Chains A and B, each alone.
Chain A
């Protein structure tokens, strides 16, 4: 079945540096991907919709200059956390729709970011 991968699975970085997280659809094309954030023992919060070939759409309250999203191809979306701070430490999860209109999402395994 279709699979969504994320890289890296975990990363530790120093405060002030930038971190890039990749989300790939492995055997299908995804014109749209979604990025979620999950704090420990909490739910997933939608951060943004990544659109291939166009600008991402950010949810209210999400800083687009801090969380840069690029969807350069039909199988790859990247999330860059710029000038990371400890409060950015979280579990970042991406997903891609199984097909247009189906509603079902394929979720990546997540990336755990720790900012020290």
Chain B
């Protein structure tokens, strides 16, 4: 069964610092992988997705993620954090190869200090 593990339930960075949010996946088939962001009291917003094309995926708001099959990882990065990046981030994998329902990680809360 597909699953994702997000290492670190809470990450704190200073404004301007590198953001690194970790995600490892387990999948019996080539996975579809996603990163979503959720701001307080709001719905999920797609940051980026991997669907077996380029291994380095660029998303919105300056975020990117690299698919590493050998490490079964899909870590999310941003070179320079902004205060507005403070939110909850979820890594997700498609439940099956057809890419339908998503299985979510537990989430990582990103805090950004000035």
Contact = CB atoms under 8 A, between A and B. Distances in A.
Interface residues of A, number: 22
Contact of A97 (B42, B90, B99, B107): B99
B12 interface: no
Interface stretch (B14-22, B43-51, B64-72, B73-81): B43-51
B42 A109 contact: yes
B102 interface: yes
B13 to A, nearest CB: 20
B42 A100 contact: no
B98 A101 contact: yes
Contacts of A110: 43
Looking at A34, A43, A108, A110, the one whose CB has the most chain B CB atoms below 10 A away is A43
B103 interface: yes
Main secondary structure of the interface of B (DSSP, over half): loop
Interface residues of B, number: 22
A46 B101 contact: yes
Nearest to B103: A46
Given A43-B105, A103-B34, A109-B43, A34 B100 contact: yes
A97 B101 CA distance: 8
A21 interface: no
Given A46-B95, A100-B98, A102-B99, A93 B104 contact: no
Contact of B106 (A32, A43, A100, A102): A43
Contacts of B98: 100-101
Interface string B81-104: 000000000100011001111111
B25 interface: no
Nearest to A4: B43
6 contacts: A43-B104, A46-B103, A95-B102, A103-B32, A103-B100, A105-B102
